[in-house]
């Protein structure tokens, strides 16, 4: 389906807000009769995929899925920091809280329309027989399940609409969380059985996408302890079963090198189980369907473009500077053996602006015993290193004098101040709110120019490494740690430095490596039960288990969360991960200093508020909800 969307606007989403969130181009000649044709149904099914783009469409990208967690905190330029600090502005009138609701119910209504019309179509091509109709039906039921799964994780109980809207509907009953999960599972099981393992059009849902999400839904429902999600004793068995089906499919496989995942020329591969589609010319995103563009490339960058010798360029991105990693996100990686952090971050920038190249001064050269003949000479040239971010730790011996001697700008996580005699005096941190490593995963060099916000990369909604981690967690929750480690070590084995793989100079300068060492680090990456045993050992410190997490089962869950951070850093899963495992308060207060300082994160924040625009338009028994009824419909604490 890549590059071939013809998005057709479906009328009447479920209770869209008074504000026209979706501004659609009206097609005067199009009527509902079009959807009684085979081409109309095919276009309608394609339109059901368009709302997938919402997740990486605007600032909600990080507000709803990464802010206010243990792995990311706010950078220097954001008007939405209250999502990270859980401020009072995070309420039922907040625009992204409303937008997610509107986007997904619009999507669900499209799916419902398609599901009702597909059986009645008399087709001559793909829909000419029951097999084709069953495939399209499975696609829209998969998508409906996806949108409801996203909703129930964010809002909890909500209206469960399984039929298309007819005219203006005002009366809606709030379904329980268990009922929503039962509906999601029903749709996904149908899709898993009916969809092919591979589609002719890349991007359409497959049986493996349905299996992945079935495993994730069962894991989410079954991992609840105090929350009431309708959890069943067989949920972990089901999660493991469907994850293994996806893992063992001939159409799925892990890429051999973690870095290959972020190569913008390698977006279609067997590790990608399901993706939201975007394209280079953006013709499918304007004036047709839901006009979101992939803006995820903007938010995880530092302010590199105001540094000496640096200007803004396409390859490094337009730095909106919304998020920066927490110390936890750096320290949870075993950088000596695990390549993922180094392969996820952009830390070295090459000079591209001659007019701002600095020159040596005599005091600078004297400070480290440099050659005074370099006075008033450029410190570097176009094409040389101009800016570096060093990820080191508190054991560093790096000094301010050594930083000065390099000539180019260095922001070191830790370095020592020295006195006039060169003696170290104080350990300092060089990372600042706008000056910390950028996340490399979303950088998009296909944009038209350095200021262009329209992203062209697909967004990976589900990839096989996460399927392995879902299977590992399910087996571990069953007490089968041996199988859990097998699934998990498949991911960790790929994360190792491989034999004959060259490492960066940072690896031997700051991570503990040896220059010229080309040995594999795979043996050191294979986890054992010692990583989460109840015995106090070296792994207790490395894995940073929060206070009070002492049993083997508790440690296993937090070890899995650590592994999900290492593998999926910044990939827009984290808020839901912490809510799912009922660890949002524990881990965010432990590792996010912004949240600690604000001190406002509370139990109510494990759900988003139900949008006020919805509550003000709902009727009960022919009348608008009373204030008391709105309070009852609203999630607790809002």
Of the listed ranges 83-87, 120-124, 327-331, 333-337, the least confidently predicted one is 120-124
pLDDT for the residue 25: 38
Structure confidence by residue, pLDDT tens digits, 274-314:
999 986 443 333 333 345 789 999 999 999 999 999 999 99
Residue 82 inside a domain? The answer is: no
Residue 544 inside a domain? The answer is: no
Query: What is the mean pLDDT of the segment spanning 1-12?
Result: 34
Residue 519 inside a domain? The answer is: no
Structure confidence by residue, pLDDT tens digits, 355-414:
999 999 999 999 999 999 999 999 999 999 999 999 999 999 999 999 999 999 999 999
Structure confidence by residue, pLDDT tens digits, 308-334:
999 999 999 999 999 999 999 999 999
Residues 6+ apart with CB under 8 A from 539: 530, 531, 532, 533
Q: Which of 306, 397, 299 is nearest to 57 (CA)?
A: 299
Residue 31 confidence class, pLDDT cut points 50, 70, 90: confident
pLDDT surpasses 60 at 273: yes
Structure confidence by residue, pLDDT tens digits, 542-571:
999 999 999 999 999 999 999 999 999 999
pTM: 0.93
Residue 241 confidence class, pLDDT cut points 50, 70, 90: very high
Q: Which residue(s) pair with 323 in the sheet?
A: 74
- Per-residue CA distances from 139 to 45, 49, 490 (Å): 8, 9, 30
User: For the chain, how many structural domains are there in total?
Assistant: 1
pLDDT for the residue 292: 73
Structure confidence by residue, pLDDT tens digits, 415-463:
999 999 999 999 999 999 999 999 999 999 989 999 999 998 999 999 9
Structure confidence by residue, pLDDT tens digits, 182-229:
999 999 999 999 999 999 998 999 999 999 999 999 999 999 999 999
Residue 332 inside a domain? The answer is: yes
CA 502/CA 507 separation, integer angstroms: 10
Residue 532 inside a domain? The answer is: no
pLDDT surpasses 70 at 23: no
pLDDT for the residue 20: 28
Q: What is the 3-state secondary structure (H, E, C) of 37-98?
A: CHHHHHHHHHHCCHHHHHHHCCCHHHHCCCCCCCCEEECCCCCCCHHHHCCCCCCCCCHHHH
- Per-residue CA distances from 401 to 62, 67, 369, 397, 423 (Å): 38, 36, 9, 11, 10
pLDDT for the residue 166: 79
- Per-residue CA distances from 320 to 107, 296, 342, 537 (Å): 29, 10, 22, 41
- Tokens 């999660």 found at: 239
Percent of the chain with pLDDT over 70: 93
Percent of the chain with pLDDT over 90: 87
Structural domain harbouring 326: 299-439
Residue 340 inside a domain? The answer is: yes
pLDDT for the residue 279: 67
Residue 431 inside a domain? The answer is: yes
pLDDT for the residue 30: 58
Structure confidence by residue, pLDDT tens digits, 505-551:
999 999 999 999 999 999 999 999 999 998 878 888 899 999 999 99
Residue 310 inside a domain? The answer is: yes
């Amino acid at each position: 389906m890549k590059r071939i969307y013809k998005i057709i606007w479906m009328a009447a989403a479920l209770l869209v807000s008074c504000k026209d969130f979706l501004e659609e181009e009206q097609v005067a000649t199009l009527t509902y009769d079009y959807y009684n044709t085979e081409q109309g149904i095919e276009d309608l099914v394609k339109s059901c995929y368009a709302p997938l783009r919402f997740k990486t469409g605007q600032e909600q990208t990080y507000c709803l899925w990464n802010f206010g967690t243990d792995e990311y905190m706010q950078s220097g330029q954001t008007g939405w920091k209250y999502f990270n600090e859980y401020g009072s502005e995070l309420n039922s009138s907040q625009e992204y809280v409303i937008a997610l609701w509107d986007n997904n119910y619009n999507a669900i209504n499209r799916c419902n329309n398609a599901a009702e019309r597909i059986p009645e179509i008399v087709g001559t091509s793909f829909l000419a027989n029951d097999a084709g109709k069953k495939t399209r039906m499975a696609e829209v039921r998969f998508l409906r399940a996806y949108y409801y799964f996203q909703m129930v994780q964010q809002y909890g109980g909500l209206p469960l609409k399984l039929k298309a809207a007819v005219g203006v509907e005002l009366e809606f009953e709030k379904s329980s969380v268990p009922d929503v999960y039962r509906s999601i599972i029903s749709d996904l099981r149908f899709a898993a059985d009916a969809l092919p393992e591979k589609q002719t059009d890349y991007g359409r849902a497959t049986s493996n996408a349905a299996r992945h999400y079935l495993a994730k839904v069962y894991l989410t429902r079954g991992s609840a302890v105090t929350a009431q999600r309708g959890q069943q004793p067989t949920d972990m068995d089901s999660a493991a079963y469907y994850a293994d089906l996806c893992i063992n499919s001939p159409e799925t496989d892990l890429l051999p090198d973690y870095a290959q995942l972020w190569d913008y020329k390698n977006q279609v591969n067997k590790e990608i189980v399901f993706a939201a589609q975007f394209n280079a010319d953006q013709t499918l995103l304007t004036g047709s369907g839901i006009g979101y563009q992939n803006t995820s490339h903007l938010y995880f960058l530092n302010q590199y473009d105001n540094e000496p010798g640096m200007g803004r360029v396409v390859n490094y991105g337009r730095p909106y500077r919304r998020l920066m990693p927490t110390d936890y996100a750096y320290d949870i990686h075993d950088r000596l053996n695990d390549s993922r952090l180094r392969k996820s971050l952009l830390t070295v920038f090459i000079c591209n602006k001659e007019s701002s190249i600095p020159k040596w001064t005599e005091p600078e050269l004297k400070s480290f015993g440099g050659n005074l003949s370099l006075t008033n000479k450029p410190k570097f040239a176009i094409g040389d290193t101009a800016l570096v971010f060093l990820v080191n730790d508190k054991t560093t011996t790096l000094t301010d004098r050594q930083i000065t001697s390099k000539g180019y700008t260095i922001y070191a996580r830790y370095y020592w101040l020295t006195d006039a005699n060169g003696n170290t005096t104080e350990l300092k941190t060089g990372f600042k709110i706008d000056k910390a490593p950028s996340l490399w995963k979303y950088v998009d060099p296909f944009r038209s120019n350095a200021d262009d916000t329209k992203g062209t990369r697909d967004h990976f909604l589900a990839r096989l490494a996460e399927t392995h981690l879902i299977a590992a967690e399910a087996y571990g929750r069953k007490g089968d740690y041996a199988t859990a480690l097998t699934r998990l070590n498949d991911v960790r084995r790929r994360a190792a430095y491989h034999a004959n793989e060259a490492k960066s100079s940072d690896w031997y300068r700051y991570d503990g490596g040896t220059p010229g060492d080309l040995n594999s680090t795979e043996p050191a990456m294979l986890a054992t039960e010692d990583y989460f045993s109840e015995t106090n050992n070296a792994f207790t410190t490395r894995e940073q288990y929060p206070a009070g997490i002492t049993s083997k089962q508790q440690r296993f869950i937090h070890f899995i969360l650590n592994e999900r951070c290492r593998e999926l850093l910044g990939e827009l899963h984290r808020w839901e991960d912490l809510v799912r495992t009922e660890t949002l308060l524990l881990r965010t207060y432990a590792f996010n200093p912004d949240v600690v300082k604000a001190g406002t994160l509370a139990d109510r924040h494990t759900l988003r508020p139900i949008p006020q625009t919805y509550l003000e338009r709902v009727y009960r028994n022919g009348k608008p909800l009373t204030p008391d009824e709105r309070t009852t419909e609203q999630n607790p604490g809002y």
